[in-house]
């Protein structure tokens, strides 16, 4: 399930990005941010009796990547994603979607963008109780005025896609939580959005169902290749799904990176705390364990980007180090069985963090 | 937020010692009354200082009446159209004439209506509801009340949709504009729901005259507020994720409201509709005083002539109608969405009950042209209970007159009359200051000022004695209702068996229109304060029972377990754990009891109480808008004062227990 290669992140211009984004709750927040010119300390906010739900957030999300926003409850994830989709009005900063300033879009333009380019999945599903499954899925098309036969056909395809065929005429309350969220997913995909927001979509589900839904999401993404902004408070989930992760704390983004970068180079103790119990073999790749090549003989070769877990059994069984090769087939270093055993035994942490 | 913080520190300052606090309170109250007697005019409000609000309002209303005749006339004309159609369908035959040619369109056959109502019951709630609804209407037919009942029903059928649509639109406005909600809608609703029913009748009567349209408008004014509240509450309660979803789906504002929010709020809205229906029925009955006709008028005429039998018969039919309408609309509120496993295309397949009901009505109505038994209920199959009720009352009078009379007189002489004398002698300034102090202790300065202003209104309008008379009767009735209701609620909370018996009884009591409580009370105790007291207690006891039971039952299980683990006996558990936790809820019940008692006491002006209600009643018979509205406002203010003080008290207790 771990992804073999992080997608090329910086090749094109970002699909969605924000710069110095703030959302401050409380009376006089706009005035306050204007006075402070988009930079206020926690003390300033506290003194003005304001809540800084999102503070100086900057990020870029690229075409086709799964970008995860991770943080504990109350850290501002939902607020951030609602600012990015302009469900709530940011207090300060810029949001750029597809190269245009989202905050300047008029109400009508915003409606158009949402109708055709954005989809969102909600933690508590947000299904309409008075509509059947198929009517729910077809709803975003219905408000666009797509004719009935066409939208029902599309809805049926989406229901197929999430494996809910046969439940079209059920009402949401007749379905289990996992099934309801499948409906939520199908509904958000009905308009073929370019960017897909998922706000803790699996947090309300049982652990087993959650696993299943994560696998389902990965399967869908293989096919659909959407640009995804996925929110979670579960670091394991983040690791499993992410191309890149942004970690939030008290409204601020404290680090953005691939899972491997977070594990190998945590920016703060707070991030390190999260990464401590992660199964490293599944996160780290050969290149982060390798040393310069020195041995005369190698027991085998591994790709630099291969996760340790993928070759651990062979190397542990071998006496010799394995050669690490890059995409062009050149040897760039070697990796010893001992390094892998240490990693599996959890003896490496001090080294790696140093 | 800051208010809460302020009040908390303030409460801890002078209350170091409970005994000291009580002494301080008593001292201040004594000082307030002393002051009232010392200051000239502090005890009895001087007559020459009375502010003539009543005259001002009357002058204003007369100006409105004379300047806007065109408006009132056209309004009557517009509303009259659906009303006449409803009358024609349900109650009277209608003569359709085109030139020479004319035809009597028959009203709908009673057989068909009974069948249709049963089918409606079936559609909404299955076989049992079908039986209840069908039998209920059959009862009305067989006990000779069909014609009156259909007049009443016609008014309701026209009134309810108007109220629902108006309430929905105003509610949506309030939801969309928090400022409008806070500054206009909520205060207006508070006032409208505490102004006594009678007081609505007066301006309507003045502007529109005595006729069914007036009754309809008064009913609409009275029955719309709960729909507004239900709409605002329902829309606000829609989960924020659903609101976000509507935006993300690219809904326009209108689509968001009508395709997402309103349908998602439907359960709350339907509860609002249920309340509108019940209040409409209640008010349509009372509106018989300004020409509504129907069952209410039958009761009114019978009561005026002290004819026990007819009053009881018509009253029971009102109760039956109320129960049927209540159960039907409640079933509609909780109605589950039917699964539609396969698409059904024909109208018949989709709405079998509706199709059948329409067919039943059409066919029986066609038959009724030929066979009179289908047109109106044939005398031969009807029953009357009138003589039976009369005999029963005669029998009771024969055997128990002395006993009943002894109870009544004892109560009057030893309790009610002295109490009344005491209340009426209270100096207005002393009462106002004491209430203000209570407002300050329980809430904030603002509450104290509001309470003082509202209470002063009753004095400066020259209605102090009547206000105190109202307070005395309302207080006595509320006290008795609480003293009976709370223990019943406690029993119900402790024993499931008791709850099973009590719940249907209070559900039914709650369904019965106010007017109907008076009938049996008058039969037994004739007219006067004691009768009013009995009717009021019976009407106002429901919330005391319901909230006590509910409050005790919702004590968290963990708390009970904590109590048991600490070794509480059952009794200790009840008195030391459950009751203290349930007190806020019980207080809210008492609050409701007081408000209900107040509204009932006012209706009891019909049976000779002498208080603010009587002022309204007199004003109604003279169509004196100013006097009526001022007295009505005074009554409303009593209700609002009680409500605000108790709500503040509850909030304070909850804050103390940390469950705010
Ligand atoms: N409408 C609001 N008004 C005031 N504070 C808010 C509002 N919405 C969110 N907050 C505050 O902003 C912070 C972040 O909330 P949220 O974005 O929902 O966190 P998360 O989704 O990470 O759990 C919280 O402290 C929350 O209390
Ligand atoms: Mg959240």
Q: What is the block-wise mean pLDDT of chain B (660 residues), using blocks of 10 residues?
A: 40 57 86 84 82 89 88 88 87 72 78 90 90 94 89 93 96 95 91 82 86 90 93 94 95 95 92 92 87 87 83 89 92 67 61 83 83 80 81 85 88 90 90 93 92 93 92 94 95 91 90 87 85 94 94 86 84 86 90 91 86 89 87 91 91 77
Q: Give the C-alpha distances (Å, rounded to integers) separating A57 from A19, A77, A274.
A: 6, 11, 20
Distance between CA atoms of B230 and A56, rounded to whole angstroms? Answer: 41
User: Going by C-beta distance under 8 Å and a sequence separation of 6 or more, which residues neighbour residue B73?
Assistant: none
Q: Based on the domain organization, do B328 and B477 belong to the same domain?
A: no
Query: Taking a C-beta distance cutoff of 8 angstroms, is the pair B215, B292 a contact?
Result: yes
Q: Based on the domain organization, do B472 and B568 belong to the same domain?
A: yes
Q: Do A128 and B264 touch (CB under 8 A)?
A: yes
Q: What is the count of structural domains for chain B?
A: 2
Q: Based on the domain organization, do B619 and B483 belong to the same domain?
A: yes
User: Domain boundary residue among B335, B370, B387?
Assistant: B335
The domain spanning residue B210 has which CATH number?
1.10.3720.10
Two tokens, residue B468:
């105190």
Distance between CA atoms of B317 and B137, rounded to whole angstroms? Answer: 9
Q: Is residue B101 part of a domain?
A: no
Domains belonging to chain A, first-starting first, are 16-117+193-274 (3.40.50.300), 281-352 (3.90.1280.20)
Query: Taking a C-beta distance cutoff of 8 angstroms, is the pair B118, B133 a contact?
Result: yes
Tell me the torsion sign for CA atoms B486, B491, B494, B496: negative
End-to-end CA distance of chain A, in Å? 29
Question: Which of the four pLDDT bands, split at 50, 70 and 90, describes residue A353?
Answer: very low
User: Domain boundary residue among B301, B335, B369?
Assistant: B335
Is residue A48 pLDDT above 50, yes or no?
A: yes
Element (H, E) at A192: none
Q: What is the DSSP string of B242-296?
A: HHHHHHHTT--HHHIIIIIIHHHTHHHHHHHHHHHHHHHHHHHHHGGGGT--SHH
Distance between CA atoms of B648 and A332, rounded to whole angstroms? Answer: 75
Q: Based on the domain organization, do B329 and B435 belong to the same domain?
A: no
Q: Based on the domain organization, do B279 and B183 belong to the same domain?
A: yes
Q: Is residue B80 part of a domain?
A: no
Q: Is residue B405 part of a domain?
A: no
Q: Based on the domain organization, do B325 and B466 belong to the same domain?
A: no
Query: Taking a C-beta distance cutoff of 8 angstroms, is the pair B464, B437 a contact?
Result: no
Residue A118 touches chain B, beta carbons under 8 Å = yes
pLDDT at position B104 is 72
Q: Which residues of B touch A123 (CB under 8 A)?
A: 241
Q: Is residue B253 part of a domain?
A: yes
Q: Is residue B366 part of a domain?
A: no
Q: Based on the domain organization, do B425 and B331 belong to the same domain?
A: no
pLDDT at position B475 is 94
Distance between CA atoms of B356 and B574, rounded to whole angstroms? Answer: 54
Measured in Å, residue B496 CA sits from the centre of ligand 2 at: 41
CA angle A200/A202/A206 to nearest 5° reads 140
Using most ligand atoms within 8 A of CB, pick from A22, A24, A25 the residue to mutate for ligand 1: A25
Using most ligand atoms within 8 A of CB, pick from A74, A230, A235 the residue to mutate for ligand 1: A74
State pLDDT tens for residues A111-161. 999 999 999 999 999 999 999 999 999 999 999 999 999 999 999 999 999
Distance between CA atoms of B614 and B631, rounded to whole angstroms? Answer: 9
Say whether the ipTM exceeds 0.90: no
User: Domain boundary residue among B289, B306, B335?
Assistant: B335
pLDDT at position B207 is 87
pLDDT at position B343 is 53
Query: Taking a C-beta distance cutoff of 8 angstroms, is the pair B606, B180 a contact?
Result: no
Q: Is residue B181 part of a domain?
A: yes
Q: Is residue B108 part of a domain?
A: no
Q: Please state, for a pLDDT cut of 90, what percent of chain A lies above it.
A: 65
Query: Which of B244, B250, B341 lies at the smallest CB-CB distance from A111?
Result: B250
Q: Give the C-alpha distances (Å, rounded to integers) separating B371 from A178, B366, B377, B382, B474.
A: 61, 9, 11, 17, 54
Domain with B572, as residue range(s), is 2-38+418-657
pLDDT at position A350 is 47
Is residue A314 pLDDT above 90, yes or no?
A: no
Two tokens, residue B578:
């459950």
Q: In chain A, which among 31-90 make CB contacts under 8 A with chain B?
A: 82, 85, 87
Query: Which of B244, B252, B263 lies at the smallest CB-CB distance from A128?
Result: B263
Q: Give the C-alpha distances (Å, rounded to integers) separating A51 from A27, A32, A44, A91.
A: 10, 12, 10, 12
Q: Based on the domain organization, do B505 and B637 belong to the same domain?
A: yes
Residues framing ligand 1 (Cβ under 6 A): A 25, 51, 53, 71, 73-79
SS3 B127: helix
Q: Do A140 and B244 touch (CB under 8 A)?
A: no
pTM here is 0.85
- Sheet containing strand A331-335, strands side by side: A300-303, A322-325, A331-335
**Proportion of chain B in helix, strand, coil states, percent, rounded to 5:** 85, 0, 15
Distance between CA atoms of B201 and B300, rounded to whole angstroms? Answer: 15
Q: What is the DSSP string of B531-548?
A: HHHHHHHHHHHHHHHHHH
Two tokens, residue A322:
């394995």
pLDDT at position A9 is 45
Distance between CA atoms of B213 and B201, rounded to whole angstroms? Answer: 12
Element (H, E) at A206: none
Element (H, E) at A23: strand A16-25
The closest residue, in CA terms, to atom 5 on ligand 1 is A25
Two tokens, residue A112:
């158009």
Q: Is residue B61 part of a domain?
A: no
Among A265, A251, A245, A231, residue whose Cα is nearest residue A353: A265
Distance between CA atoms of B643 and B660, rounded to whole angstroms? Answer: 18
Q: Based on the domain organization, do B34 and B173 belong to the same domain?
A: no
Q: Based on the domain organization, do B494 and B637 belong to the same domain?
A: yes
Distance between CA atoms of B355 and B101, rounded to whole angstroms? Answer: 32
Distance between CA atoms of B49 and A327, rounded to whole angstroms? Answer: 100
Q: Which residues of A touch B258 (CB under 8 A)?
A: none
Distance between CA atoms of B176 and B556, rounded to whole angstroms? Answer: 36
Distance between CA atoms of B632 and B599, rounded to whole angstroms? Answer: 11
pLDDT at position B361 is 85
Q: Based on the domain organization, do B328 and B455 belong to the same domain?
A: no
The closest residue, in CA terms, to atom 4 on ligand 1 is A25
Q: How far is A220 from chain B (nearest CA, A)?
A: 21
Query: Which of B239, B337, B342 lies at the smallest CB-CB distance from A171?
Result: B337
Query: Which of B239, B249, B263 lies at the smallest CB-CB distance from A140?
Result: B249
Distance between CA atoms of B528 and B536, rounded to whole angstroms? Answer: 12
Two tokens, residue A115:
């109708």
Q: Do B249 and A139 touch (CB under 8 A)?
A: yes
Measured in Å, residue A176 CA sits from the centre of ligand 1 at: 28
Q: Do B241 and A126 touch (CB under 8 A)?
A: yes
Residue B338 touches chain A, beta carbons under 8 Å = no
């Amino acid at each position: 399930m771990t992804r073999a290669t992080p997608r090329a992140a910086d090749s094109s211009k970002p699909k969605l990005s924000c710069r110095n984004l703030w959302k401050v709750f409380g009376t006089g927040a706009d005035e306050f941010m204007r006075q402070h010119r988009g930079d206020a300390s926690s003390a300033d906010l506290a003194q003005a009796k304001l809540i800084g739900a999102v503070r100086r957030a900057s990020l870029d999300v690229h075409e086709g990547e799964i970008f995860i926003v991770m943080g504990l409850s109350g850290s501002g994830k939902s607020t951030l994603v609602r600012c990015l989709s302009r469900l709530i009005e940011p207090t300060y900063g810029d949001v750029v979607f597809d190269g245009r300033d989202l905050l300047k879009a008029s109400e009508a333009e915003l409606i158009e963008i949402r109708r055709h380019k954005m989809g969102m999945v909600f933690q508590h599903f947000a299904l309409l109780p008075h509509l059947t499954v198929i009517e729910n899925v077809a709803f975003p098309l219905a408000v666009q005025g797509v004719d009935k036969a066409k939208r029902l056909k599309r809805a049926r395809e989406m229901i197929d896609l999430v494996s809910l065929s046969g439940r079209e005429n059920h009402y949401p309350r007749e379905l289990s939580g996992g099934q309801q969220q499948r409906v939520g997913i199908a509904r958000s995909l009905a308009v073929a959005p370019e960017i897909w927001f998922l706000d803790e979509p699996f947090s309300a589900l049982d652990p087993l169902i959650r696993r299943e839904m994560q696998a389902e999401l990965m399967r869908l993404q293989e096919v659909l290749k959407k640009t995804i902004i996925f929110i979670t408070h579960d670091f394991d989930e983040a690791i499993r799904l992410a191309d890149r992760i942004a970690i939030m704390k008290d409204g601020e983004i404290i680090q953005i990176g691939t899972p491997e970068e977070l594990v190998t180079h945590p920016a703060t103790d707070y991030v390190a705390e999260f990464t401590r119990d992660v199964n490293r073999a599944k996160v780290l790749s050969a290149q982060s364990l390798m040393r310069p090549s020195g041995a005369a003989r190698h027991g085998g070769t591994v790709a630099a980007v291969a996760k340790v877990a993928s070759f651990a059994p062979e190397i542990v069984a071998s006496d010799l180090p394995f050669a690490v090769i890059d995409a062009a087939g050149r040897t760039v270093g070697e990796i010893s069985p001992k390094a892998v055993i240490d990693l599996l035994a959890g003896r490496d942490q001090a080294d790696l963090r140093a | 937020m800051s208010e809460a913080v302020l009040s908390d520190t303030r409460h801890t300052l002078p209350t170091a010692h409970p005994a000291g606090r009580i002494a301080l309170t008593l001292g201040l109250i004594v000082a307030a009354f002393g002051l009232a007697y010392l200051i000239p005019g502090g005890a009895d409000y001087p007559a020459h200082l009375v502010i003539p609000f009543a005259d001002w309002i009357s002058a204003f209303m007369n100006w409105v009446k004379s300047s806007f005749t065109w408006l009132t006339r056209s309004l009557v004309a517009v509303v009259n159209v659906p009303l006449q159609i409803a009358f024609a369908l349900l109650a009277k035959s209608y003569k359709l004439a085109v030139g020479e040619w004319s035809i009597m369109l028959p009203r709908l056959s009673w057989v068909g209506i009974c069948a249709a109502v049963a089918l409606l019951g079936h559609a909404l709630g299955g076989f049992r509801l079908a039986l209840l609804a069908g039998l209920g209407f059959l009862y009305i037919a067989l006990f000779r009340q069909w014609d009156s009942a259909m007049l009443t029903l016609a008014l309701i059928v026209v009134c309810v949709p108007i109220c629902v649509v108006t309430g929905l639109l105003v509610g949506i406005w309030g939801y969309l504009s928090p400022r409008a909600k806070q500054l206009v809608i909520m205060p207006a609703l508070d006032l409208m729901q505490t102004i006594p029913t009678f007081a609505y009748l007066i301006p309507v009567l003045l502007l529109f005259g005595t006729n069914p349209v007036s009754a309809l408008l008064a009913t609409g004014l009275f029955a719309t507020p709960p729909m507004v509240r239900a709409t605002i509450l329902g829309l606000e309660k829609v989960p924020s994720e659903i609101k976000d979803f509507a935006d993300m789906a690219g809904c326009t504002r209108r689509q968001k409201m009508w395709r997402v929010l309103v349908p998602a709020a439907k359960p709350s809205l339907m509860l609002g509709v249920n309340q509108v229906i019940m209040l409409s029925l209640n008010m349509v009955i009372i509106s018989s005083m300004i020409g509504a006709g129907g069952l209410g008028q039958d009761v009114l005429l019978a009561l005026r002539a002290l004819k026990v039998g007819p009053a009881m018969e018509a009253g029971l039919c009102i109760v039956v109608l109320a129960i049927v309408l209540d159960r039907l609309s409640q079933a509609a509120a909780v109605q589950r969405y039917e699964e539609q496993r396969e698409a059904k295309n024909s109208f018949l397949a989709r709405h079998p009950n509706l199709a059948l009901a329409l067919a039943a009505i059409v066919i029986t109505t066609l038959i009724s042209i030929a066979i009179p038994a289908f047109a109106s209920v044939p005398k031969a199959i009807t029953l009357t209970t009138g003589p039976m009720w009369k005999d029963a009352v005669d029998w009771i009078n024969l055997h128990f007159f002395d006993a009943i009379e002894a109870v009544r007189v004892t109560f009057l002489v030893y309790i009610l009359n002295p109490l009344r004398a005491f209340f009426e002698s209270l100096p207005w300034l002393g009462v106002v200051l004491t209430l203000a102090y209570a407002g300050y202790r329980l809430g904030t300065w603002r509450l104290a000022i509001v309470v003082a202003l509202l209470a002063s209104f009753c004095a400066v309008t020259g209605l102090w004695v009547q206000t105190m008379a109202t307070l005395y009767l309302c207080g006595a009735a509320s006290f008795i209702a609480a003293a009976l209701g709370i223990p019943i609620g406690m029993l119900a909370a402790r024993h499931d068996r008791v709850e099973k018996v009590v719940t249907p009884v209070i559900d039914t009591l709650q369904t019965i229109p106010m007017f109907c409580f008076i009938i049996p009370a008058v039969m037994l105790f004739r007219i006067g304060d004691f009768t009013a007291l009995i009717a009021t207690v019976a009407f106002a006891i429901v919330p005391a029972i319901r909230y006590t039971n509910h409050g005790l039952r919702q004590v968290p299980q963990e708390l009970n377990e904590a109590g048991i683990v600490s070794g509480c006996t059952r009794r200790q558990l009840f008195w030391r754990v459950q009751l203290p936790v349930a007190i806020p809820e019980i207080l809210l019940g008492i609050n409701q009891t007081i408000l209900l008692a107040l509204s009932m006491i006012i209706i009891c002006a019909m049976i000779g109480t002498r208080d603010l209600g009587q002022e309204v009643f007199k004003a109604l018979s003279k169509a004196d808008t100013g006097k009526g509205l001022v007295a009505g406002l005074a009554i409303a203010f009593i209700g609002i004062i009680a409500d605000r003080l108790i709500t503040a008290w509850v909030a304070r207790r909850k804050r103390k227990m940390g469950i705010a």
